[in-house]
Chain A
Amino acid sequence: MLKASSLRVGFALLAGATLAIGALSLRLLRHEETRLADETRRALEGRAQIIADDLQLAVRAAQDELLSRLAALPAAELPRALAGWSDANPLVRNTFIWNQLLRRLEQPNPDAPTTAEEKSFIQRYSHLFAARLDALLRAGEREASLALAHASARVQLLNVAQQAYEAKPVRRGWIPWFEGDQLFLLGWVEQNGRVAGVELETAALLARLLAVFPGEAGADRAWALLDGAGNVLHQTGGLDIGKGQAPAVAVSLSPSLPHWQVAFFGAGAPMAAAGSYRLVTTLLVVALLLTILAGGALLLLEAGRKAREARQKTSFVANVSHELKTPLTTLRMYAELLREGRVREPEQRQHYLDVMVTECARLTRLVNNMLDFGRLEQHRRTYAVEPLELAVWLPAFLEAQRLRLEEAGLQLVMQLPAEPLAVRTDRDALEQAVLNLLDNALKYAADGKQLEIALLPAAGGGAQLEVGDRGPGVPEELREKIFEKFYRLDQSLTARVPGSGLGLSIARRLLRDLGGNLVCLPRAGGGACFRVTLPAFAAANCAG
């Protein structure tokens, strides 16, 4: 009982420790995974920021160039100069002159636009020119500096360099304007009471920005430039970006291009790497856990087996000592009585001597069994195979035992075949095996009053010998276990019946060595039946 529970406790501890290790490594794994994902994301964000900076710098460069040109136009012939400039510069879509004193548009003439483009320009900015331009011009620089505070270091650096370069600061700025979900950029320069302005050609700017965009991104990912409505303006990389697909990473292009974004698409990219990483590490963790469990279980089982053997051996020694002591006590007592000459009647002396001989025989059997056991264990038992007529041998052998059995109150019933039944086998080994079976019946089934021994030819040649008793019988689950060495049905030292736990084990091994077998079967009407099978011809030498 104790043994099983300690095993269970051991297993529980092992499983607990393994589970703890497993849980810990899974947690570490998850942590590592998030760290990896974060790192990938940070790298992507860094890349996106660099692209965004490149784009912003390109926009700024274009814008600065336009404003410098605008500021350098001759004030005297401004309208003509503006028109000429607008016709020649691909980045200029429209130009305008705003009179700050009169608060009205001087060019183009809002009442008589000279081209279709001028007409749409006036329409597009009607609201701006009607109400908001002055406020925006006043706010322009402050807002620009505010926006700049949020810009990246590279963009700020450019601004510092530019301010240092400008000898005479001119009031100038850019106004982002949204019309019909589209972004328009208006640049302006103040020139004594007038504001000269330029509308940036967004299409041409965009066409130039595309050149700044990074090249190959891979087949399952994409870098994209998104406008304010989330439309893809340009992309590199093979991924087909679906409508409304959310980017994995997005960096704003404010202040140069408000609401525009540089975005990275591709669930496949960093996440797939994390996925395979997760798979591999989980497999490794599982393998580790299995190894720990299997190794631990093996060690525990081995320890359990060793402990059981140690216990069996202790109980064996105690049993054997007891077995040896009983006949010795009897022998000594009777021998002493005879030496002292106190027994006068010859029958009495004869009886004492008989008892002493019987006890000696019992001791001999016991010692023989133990010697055999030692030989069998070391595979040193040798067999002398010779022809044996069982129908002759069995009655003679049993006759020698009849007295012993009857003294124990067992009545021997014998069934013999009508025909002679000859086999080739080792007579001594067979005798010892059957003797052990008889001893077994004597020890455990003496209450059954009857011992039935039947010999009959076996189906495929050879012979079959059955020893049936009317004892308590053997529970089904123990019918194999009783053949293990040292095993006894009742194993405690204080058992009513002494025994070494070797008899059946030795009998089976002997018979198996001879090519036969010994099994325990239930017996109809109660008790146990041990069936011995013997081949017609035992193997020549079955040692080992």
Chain B
Amino acid sequence: MKTKWQMLVGLALVAACGFTQQAVASRTEKVTCKVELDRGVLPAGASQRAVVKVSLDAPLLREKTERPPVNLAIVLDRSGSMSGGGKLEKAKEAAIAALHRLTERDMFSLVMFDHEVETLVPPQSAGNTEWIESRINSIRARGNTALFGGVSQGAAEVRKHLEGRYVSRILLLSDGQANVGPSQPEDLGRLGAALMKEHIAVTTIGVGADYNEDLMTKLAQHSDGNTYFVESSRDLPRIFAAELGDVLSVFARDVKLEIEFSDGVRPVRIIGRDGRLDDRKVEVRLNQLYGGQAKYALVEVEVSAGSASDVRKLANARCSYENLVNRQSERAEAEASVRFSDREKDVIKSVNVSVQKEMAFNVLAEARDEAIQQADKGDRTKAAATLRNAGAKVRAQAAVYELDDAQLNKDAAGAAAAAASIEAQGLDNRSRKSMRTDSFQTRNQQSKQ
């Protein structure tokens, strides 16, 4: 009698569980994938350069309980220079504010470094606010900058809870040049690339005028984190809040985007991002997708000549990712076709304004990075010309396709102004930092702060 009763209860429980799971699954949405061309209609009769935009749109997380837990490691530079201008104090405040936005389901750890590296707060539930706060408040500035070691240690702390469905994130805050351990941007980039394979993203926050922006952006870029340039430490709490907003809204991770092109369509280059590119295929990897935010890849392609009113299949995009809300591996797919026409009017009418705009922004971003490189080599005129050309190109594009966007106009004008300034007095430290950071944010579709 008793066993029967138990079995009944058991059955009921299993049924209930199955039901709730189903309910959650049905409620959660998926990432949508979309393939667009900068023009829906291409001129017939000659091979054409076109830009394909593949965007991934993650749905907004609707309920608070849905949010995947976060495994956050803050890596704090406490070298001697951080004591200046109240930077360290602000950073501590910001770290504590970030801690309060986490819940006890989240993991929190804090590593600090000077020429040594020390784990101040070992990974633990973010609910232990009192103890963690007292630890953070005890930080004092001293010594040199072992940035590589700091990030490595932060990664080691995050790695302790890599299993499970945590959104892993390292928040690096530094104001100086790395001067202990590997300190080339390339070295930190490699570290970032390795961390991305473990689904750990590193967000870098550079404070003041002395940090190495190349190193910070490389680290963020290769691990697919964000990067920020903070001139005044007063902005730190705001930046931390914004970053945490991103971290708390992560919807998917381990995102792999494959774009396969049809015959007669050859990918030429990926605009703004790093990725794998061969004759038929382009592969782009993203670490994390934030809910309610679109990320995209722009690929310039060469389309062989088509005859008028021909419709050709252009590309097939497949996206695989891990849905962190329901812990499922999911896929999304999309296709795009192109039509050829003799009439120029058709072509202009078919212009996709959003793709054109994204492309224009990316052209400017790429020009900024190139100009930095040229200015670093001491070639001011070339750097100025690069920026000017890009600005002119964007303006011409805007004129042809009637893109009237305030931000775009501003950016194009900004490029011209920067060109003039570089020609007159070279590239100053502050402009270099903001140019590098802006460019990164555009190319990685980081929400601007």
Taking beta carbons and an 8 Å cutoff, which residues of A are in contact with B?
87-91, 93, 112, 114-117, 201-204, 206-208, 210-211, 232-238, 240-241
Contact = CB atoms under 8 A, between A and B. Distances in A.
B152 A206 contact: yes
A201 B146 CA distance: 20
Nearest to A115: B276
A516 to B, nearest CB: 81
A87 B194 contact: no
Contacts of A203: 148, 182, 187-188, 190-191, 193-194
A117 to B, nearest CB: 8
B113 to A, nearest CB: 11
B278 interface: yes
Nearest to B150: A210
A201 B156 contact: no
A211 B156 CA distance: 8
Among A207, A208, A234, A241, find the residue whose CB has the most chain B CB atoms closer than 10 A.
Answer: A207
A112 B278 contact: yes
B275 to A, nearest CB: 7
A232 B278 CA distance: 40
Nearest to B200: A90
B116 A238 contact: yes
B378 interface: no
Nearest to A91: B194
Interface string B193-232: 1110110000000000000000000000000000000000
28 contacts: A89-B197, A93-B194, A112-B278, A114-B276, A114-B277, A116-B274, A117-B193, A201-B194, A203-B182, A203-B193, A206-B152, A207-B148, A207-B156, A208-B152, A210-B156, A211-B152, A232-B180, A233-B181, A233-B182, A234-B146, A234-B149, A235-B115, A235-B116, A235-B146, A236-B116, A238-B115, A238-B116, A240-B144
B41 interface: no
Interface core residue of A236, A237, A241 (most chain B CB under 10 Å): A236
Nearest to A118: B276
A240 B275 CA distance: 41
A294 B117 CA distance: 58
Nearest to B179: A232
Interface in B133-165: 143-144, 146, 148-149, 151-153, 155-156
A464 B144 CA distance: 89
A90 B198 contact: yes
B339 interface: no
Given A112-B278, A210-B153, A241-B115, 14 more contacts: A89-B197, A90-B194, A90-B195, A90-B197, A93-B193, A115-B274, A201-B194, A203-B182, A203-B191, A203-B193, A207-B148, A210-B149, A210-B156, A238-B116
Contacts of A232: 180-181
Nearest to B281: A114
Contacts of A234: 117, 146, 148-149, 180-181
A274 to B, nearest CB: 26
Contacts of B195: 90, 204
Summarize A's interface: helix, strand, loop or mixed: mixed
A203 B276 CA distance: 21
A507 to B, nearest CB: 84
A91 B194 CA distance: 7
Nearest to B254: A88
Contacts of A90: 194-195, 197-198
B275 A202 contact: no
B169 interface: no
B116 A204 contact: no
Q: Which 6 A-B pairs have the closest CB atoms?
A: A204-B194, A207-B152, A203-B190, A90-B194, A203-B191, A90-B197
B152 A114 contact: no
Contacts of B181: 232-235
A188 to B, nearest CB: 21
A115 B277 contact: yes
A87 B149 contact: no
Contacts of B146: 234-235
Contacts of A235: 115-116, 146, 149, 180-181
Contact of A93 (B115, B152, B190, B198): B190
A238 B142 CA distance: 10
B275 A115 contact: yes
Contacts of B380: none
A30 to B, nearest CB: 36
Contact of B197 (A87, A115, A237, A240): A87
A201 B152 contact: no
Contact of B190 (A88, A202, A210, A237): A202
B443 interface: no
A350 B155 CA distance: 135
Contacts of B274: 115-116
Contact of B115 (A116, A117, A240): A240
Contacts of A206: 148, 152, 182
Contacts of B266: none
Choose among A87, A112, A241 the residue with the greatest number of B CB atoms under 10 Å from its CB: A87
A88 B155 CA distance: 16
A428 to B, nearest CB: 92
Nearest to A204: B194
B271 to A, nearest CB: 14
B368 interface: no
A203 B256 CA distance: 23
A278 B197 CA distance: 56
A122 to B, nearest CB: 14
A341 B153 CA distance: 135
Chain A CB within 10 A, most for which of B149, B153, B155: B149
A88 B182 contact: no
B285 interface: yes
Nearest to A224: B180
Contacts of A204: 190-191, 194-195
Contacts of B188: 203
B194 A207 contact: yes
B28 to A, nearest CB: 25
Interface string B389-432: 00000000000000000000000000000000000000000000
A204 B202 CA distance: 14
A235 B151 CA distance: 14
Contacts of B285: 87
Given A90-B198, A114-B277, A240 B182 contact: no
A310 to B, nearest CB: 77
A211 B190 CA distance: 18
Given A116-B274, A207-B152, A211-B156, A240 B143 contact: yes
A116 B270 CA distance: 11
B88 to A, nearest CB: 18
Contacts of B156: 207-208, 210-211
